[in-house]
Amino acid sequence: MSVRTGTLVMAAILGGGAVGQALAHHSFAATYHQDQEITIEGTVLQFQFRNPHSFIHVQAPDADGEMHRWAVEWSSPSTLSGIGVDRATLRPGDVIQVTGEPGRDPEDHRINVTRIYRPADGFEYRGRND
């Protein structure tokens, strides 16, 4: 194989990986009802401070009062770090109120966060996901 052919093959492999990563990033409009808003109040089970987006898992009732584990999608760690949020900001057992856009599939119990409020100490986040 010539150097030029090898370079083209390597570029195709590396470029394909980048395209695959870009396509893996979901559309918020495809995942969430961006024209709707819900609020839940519950207990933090887990805070995943990770890329590409952080998630908070919250045990909270749905509109019918049935308890569920909600997956609350938040911003990237770099965005959150810029506003003073780190992995210790939310801990299991914290009671929080979450407002955001509900997931398109109600069985998924997902929310794209627009506001988080912790009554115990007044911590509040207002913003949009990135």
- In this structure, the number of other CB atoms found within 10 A of the CB of residue 70 comes to 25
| DSSP SS3 for 30 | helix
Q: How far apart are CA 126 and CA 112, in angstroms?
A: 12
Angstrom distances, CA of residue 125 to CA of 21, 38, 116, 121: 29, 16, 5, 13
Q: How far apart are CA 12 and CA 122, in angstroms?
A: 51
Six-digit token string for 3? 């150097």
28 band by pLDDT with thresholds 50, 70 and 90: confident
98-123 pLDDT per residue, tens: 999 999 999 999 999 999 999 999 99
